[in-house]
Amino acid sequence: MRRHGPRWAGWWAGLCVALALLVRPVAAQNQEPTPRDALFTWDEARRYLYLGVSFRDAVDDSIRQKLRRGLPTTIVLTAAIYPVGGTQPLSTTAQSCKVTWHVWEEIYIVEVTRPNASRVEKTLTVNGVLRRCAEVQATQTRGLLLAGNAAQIPFGVPLFVKAKVQVNPMSPELLSKIKRWVSRPTGTATAAPGDALFSTFTGLFLQRIGEAERELDFSTKPVLPLIPKPRAR
């Protein structure tokens, strides 16, 4: 009868450790991520609702290294706004951010497409890219993301967001639909129930998986939208 020596015991112990390391991330993936903070605020006329939220964690070290090497990168946020206790979204919104490196100027060109405005900006650093593409600044409505209007969102109701961030989506269809959607000549350019693109948005954008280099799903804590005080004239 052949005896298993120390070498076999060491190999078996190593295998057990490797299996344990493989199983632990799977268990972690099954846990719901902690809801993150977000800001909702109405404009002064109480016509449009804006969203502020950060999702820098969608850009991991691998993506940052690619940005530092000047590789083209696209970061897409799609989000649905829900009332607390509700199962159907009240409105939806999106932001697409395309980043390219200008070799001669040695600067990042950032093209941001969103419902309330599209713009092209320049920045020297990766941090500048993330500030424009991986967070929606909550300093003023000009920097916030349009999330809906008064016809879609009732006043005095706490809201939360379910969102997906995709880095370098592999589907040209996804990007073309977002660009077509946010450029529509409507009151707010945000899709809501009854809109022809609403089911497309919630079904295709929010539920599509495995179609990007990196994906991040998150939800936000319930919060009551702010109503700014009218400015003194």
**Could you tell me which residue, 135 or 210, shows the higher pLDDT?**
135
Residue 194, phi-psi category: left (phi > 0), alpha (psi -120 to 50), beta (remainder): left
Is 17 a residue whose pLDDT tops 60? Answer: no
pTM: 0.72
Q: Which helix (H) or strand (E) holds 17?
A: helix 6-29
Least reliable range by pLDDT among 26-35, 122-131, 169-178, 217-226: 26-35
Residue 85, phi-psi category: left (phi > 0), alpha (psi -120 to 50), beta (remainder): left
pLDDT at 50: 92
Let me know: does 83 contact 89? Beta carbons within 8 Å: no
- Give the Cα-Cα-Cα angle 76, 81, 85 (nearest 5 degrees): 140
Map residue 25 onto helix, strand or coil: helix
Is 230 a residue whose pLDDT tops 90? Answer: no
Is 103 a residue whose pLDDT tops 70? Answer: yes
Cα 25 to chain centroid distance, Å, stands at 22
Closest among 51, 54, 71, 53 to 126, alpha carbons compared: 71
Is 176 a residue whose pLDDT tops 60? Answer: yes
Give the contacts of 42 (CB within 8 A, at least 6 positions apart). 48, 49, 50, 150, 155, 225, 226, 227, 228
**Percent of the chain topping pLDDT 90:** 18
Q: What is the pLDDT of residues 49-97, one digit of tens each?
A: 999 999 998 888 988 988 888 888 899 888 899 999 888 888 888 888 9
> How far is the C-alpha of 102 from the C-alpha of 93, rounded, in Å?
29
Closest among 141, 169, 156 to 58, alpha carbons compared: 169
39-42 β-sheet, strand order = 39-42, 48-52, 145-149
pLDDT at 81: 92
pLDDT at 83: 93
Let me know: does 165 contact 216? Beta carbons within 8 Å: yes
pLDDT at 70: 86
Q: What is the pLDDT of residues 179-194, one digit of tens each?
A: 666 655 444 445 554 4
Closest among 71, 79, 72 to 36, alpha carbons compared: 79
Is 15 a residue whose pLDDT tops 50? Answer: no
pLDDT at 223: 93
Is 29 a residue whose pLDDT tops 70? Answer: no
Is 118 a residue whose pLDDT tops 60? Answer: yes
Average per-residue pLDDT for the chain: 75
Give the contacts of 43 (CB within 8 A, at least 6 positions apart). 50, 141, 228
Place of tokens 């539920």: 207
